[in-house]
Amino acid sequence: MMRGTLELELSAEEQSMLAGDFGPGVQKAMEIVSALGRIYGAQRLVPVSSVQVAGVSYRNLGEAGLDFLLKWASQSARVRVPTTLNPAGIDLQAWRELGFSESFAHRQVAVVEAYGQLGVRTTCTCTPYLIGNAPRLGEHVAWAESSAVSYANSVLGARTNREGGPSALAAAITGRTAAYGLHLDENRRATLRVTVRCPVRTISDFGALGYLVGKEAHSRVPYFVGLEEACSDIRLKALGAAMAASGAVGLYHVEGVTPEAGRVDILAPHHETFVVDDLRPAYAALNSDHSPPLAGGGEGEGHEDRIDLVWFGCPHAGLEEVTRVVHLLARRQVKTALWITMAREVRERAAAKGLVAAVEASGGQVVADMCVVVAPMQELDLHTLATPSAKGATYVPPHAGLQVRYGTVEQCVEAAVTGIWPP
C-alpha cells in the first residue's frame, strides 16, 4: 500500500486512478471517492460488489445535471461493478397515458440514456434487491436511495453508507468506496434499544412505527425488541423506509429477525432506550403534519375527504403487494387514479401472472420506472393522494405538492373505489 494524503491509504491501482492513468473520467471519480474518504477520516478504500445510483429525475437534475453526466460519459468513464438506477420522474413507456408532458419526457429519457452510456443498468427502481441486485451478508456496496440503503444494511446485512448521486456513481466507476460509517463493525452496533409494546400488524403500522422511531433515533442505530412475530420482508421494507425518511436511519436490527441482531456485541453498552406503546400519534402526524385539511366534499353535512390519486409501491412494490391490491379490489371499479409503482422487470412478471390486466380491469395502472415524489406532478390535475407508505406520506407534500391521507392498504383501496377517504 502507498500512503496518500492525510491518513487515507491508497493501493497502487487507486493511486494510478488518481493520477489519471485510467483517463480523466476515472480520475474524477477517484478524486470524489478519496476526497470523501479524507473528509470522513477513512483509512482505506474497500472494493464494492454493487452500486445503486440515485439522482435520476430530470425535475431534480435539470440541464446542469444532464450535462454533468454526459461530460463524464464523454471522458470514457464506465462503471466497473454491477450498477442499478433509482426511479425516474415518469414511466418511460406510458408517460403520455399518465398525462406527463412531452417536453419533460424528452429530457428524462436523455438522462436515463446518459446513465446507460456510463454502463449503468437503467432499472429505474428503488428496490433493486427485487430484481437481482441483492448483496449478501457482510458485502460492501455503495448505494444511494435511503430506503434501499436501509434494506441492504438491515435486512440483507450488507454494508453501505447512504451515498449521494455523484458519490455512488464515482464508487461505480472506481469500484471502491471509502471505509467509514456503516462499513465498519463499530458503527453497526445499536445505540437505541426500542421496546415495542403495542400491536404492530399491518404495513402501515410498520410505517407508523418507523416514523416514530426515526424521529427519536436521528441517525442512530435502533435495536427492536418485541416485533419478531409480525415481521415479513415487505413490512421491514416499510419500517426501514419510514425511519430513513423521518430520521435518516440507515441501519436497524430486529431481535430474532435481522441477520446481525444475534451478534453478541450488537447492542452498544451505552445505549438509550425508547418505548413505543401507541402508534396513533404517528398516524395523526402523517395525516396532518404536512397536509392542510383535504378539500371538502360539498356543502353542509357529509364533509368528506376527496382523494384524487391512490399510490401503492413506495418503496417499489413486489408481486405480493400487487396481488394483495388486486384481491382487495375484487373487480370493483376505481373512482380515483390508482397507481402501483414498481420496477419494469417486476411489472413484466406481474403482467405474466395476469396481475397488470386485473388492475387495469378495475381502472388502475401498474406504473413502471417512476416515483411520485420525483415526478413533475404539477403537470397533472391532482391535488390529494392516499397511500399506505409512511415515506410517501412524509415526502409527497413537500416534494410533489399534494395533500396526503395515510392509512392501511384496505383504507387506500376503499378510497380508490369510493373516491373518498374512509371515515
**Binding of ligand F3S at residue 371 (CB under 6 A)?**
yes
Q: Which residue has the cell 477520516?
A: 41
Site for ligand F3S (CB under 6 A): which residue of 22, 252, 283, 395?
A: 395
Q: With CA atoms as reference, report the closest residue to 198 among 146, 275, 271.
A: 275
Return the number of other C-beta atoms located less than 10 Å from residue 400's C-beta.
23
Tell me the number of residues near ligand F3S by CB under 6 A: 15
Residue 257 near residue 227, CB atoms below 8 Å: yes
End-to-end alpha-carbon separation of the chain, Å? 65
100-109: Cβ within 8 A, 24+ apart: 100/375, 100/376, 100/379, 100/380, 101/376, 101/379, 104/58, 104/59, 104/376, 104/379, 107/58, 107/63, 107/66, 108/57, 108/58
C-alpha 315/C-alpha 181 separation (Å) is 24
Return the number of other C-beta atoms located less than 10 Å from residue 62's C-beta.
13
Q: Which three cell numbers stand for residue 401?
A: 405538492
**Binding of ligand F3S at residue 386 (CB under 6 A)?**
no
Site for ligand F3S (CB under 6 A): which residue of 28, 44, 121, 391?
A: 391
Q: Which is nearer to ligand F3S, 72 or 151 (CB)?
A: 151
**Binding of ligand F3S at residue 144 (CB under 6 A)?**
no
Site for ligand F3S (CB under 6 A): which residue of 111, 241, 309, 366?
A: 241
> What is the x/- site pattern for ligand F3S, positions 33-52, by CB under 6 A?
--------------------
C-alpha 365/C-alpha 378 separation (Å) is 19
Coil, strand or helix at 219: coil
Site for ligand F3S (CB under 6 A): which residue of 25, 55, 65, 87?
A: 87
**Binding of ligand F3S at residue 387 (CB under 6 A)?**
no
Q: Output phi, psi for 144, to 5 deg.
A: -100, 175
Q: With CA atoms as reference, report the closest residue to 72 among 108, 25, 5, 112.
A: 25
Q: Which is nearer to ligand F3S, 145 or 321 (CB)?
A: 145
Residue 55 near residue 164, CB atoms below 8 Å: yes
**Binding of ligand F3S at residue 147 (CB under 6 A)?**
yes
**Binding of ligand F3S at residue 104 (CB under 6 A)?**
no
Q: Which is nearer to ligand F3S, 18 or 393 (CB)?
A: 393
C-alpha 264/C-alpha 45 separation (Å) is 27
**Binding of ligand F3S at residue 206 (CB under 6 A)?**
no
**Binding of ligand F3S at residue 126 (CB under 6 A)?**
yes
Q: With CA atoms as reference, report the closest residue to 173 among 39, 76, 88.
A: 76
Q: Which is nearer to ligand F3S, 86 or 174 (CB)?
A: 86
Type of residue found at 178: A
The region of 77-85, 278-286, 391-399, 414-422 touching ligand F3S under the rule CB under 6 A is: 391-399
Peptide bond into 398 cis (omega under 30): no
Q: Tell me how far, at minimum, the Cβ of 146 lies from ligand F3S, in Å.
A: 8
Return the number of other C-beta atoms located less than 10 Å from residue 296's C-beta.
12
Q: Which is nearer to ligand F3S, 252 or 395 (CB)?
A: 395
Q: Which is nearer to ligand F3S, 100 or 395 (CB)?
A: 395
**Binding of ligand F3S at residue 193 (CB under 6 A)?**
no
Q: With CA atoms as reference, report the closest residue to 334 among 275, 245, 410, 413.
A: 413
Q: Which is nearer to ligand F3S, 87 or 135 (CB)?
A: 87
Write the CA distances from 2 to 5, 10, 183, integer angstroms: 10, 6, 22
Q: Tell me how far, at minimum, the Cβ of 126 lies from ligand F3S, in Å.
A: 3
The region of 11-19, 175-183, 387-395, 401-409 touching ligand F3S under the rule CB under 6 A is: 387-395
Q: Tell me how far, at minimum, the Cβ of 29 lies from ligand F3S, in Å.
A: 24
Positions in 271-330 near ligand F3S (CB under 6 A): 314-316
**Binding of ligand F3S at residue 359 (CB under 6 A)?**
no
Type of residue found at 384: T
Q: Tell me how far, at minimum, the Cβ of 291 lies from ligand F3S, in Å.
A: 16
Quote the DSSP letter at residue 10.
Answer: E
**Binding of ligand F3S at residue 242 (CB under 6 A)?**
no
**Binding of ligand F3S at residue 404 (CB under 6 A)?**
no
Q: Which is nearer to ligand F3S, 150 or 411 (CB)?
A: 150
Q: Which three cell numbers stand for residue 38?
A: 479524507
Q: Which is nearer to ligand F3S, 125 or 384 (CB)?
A: 125
Q: With CA atoms as reference, report the closest residue to 51 among 114, 139, 137, 117.
A: 139
Residues near ligand F3S (CB under 6 A):
86-87, 126, 145, 147, 241, 314-316, 341, 371, 373, 391-392, 395
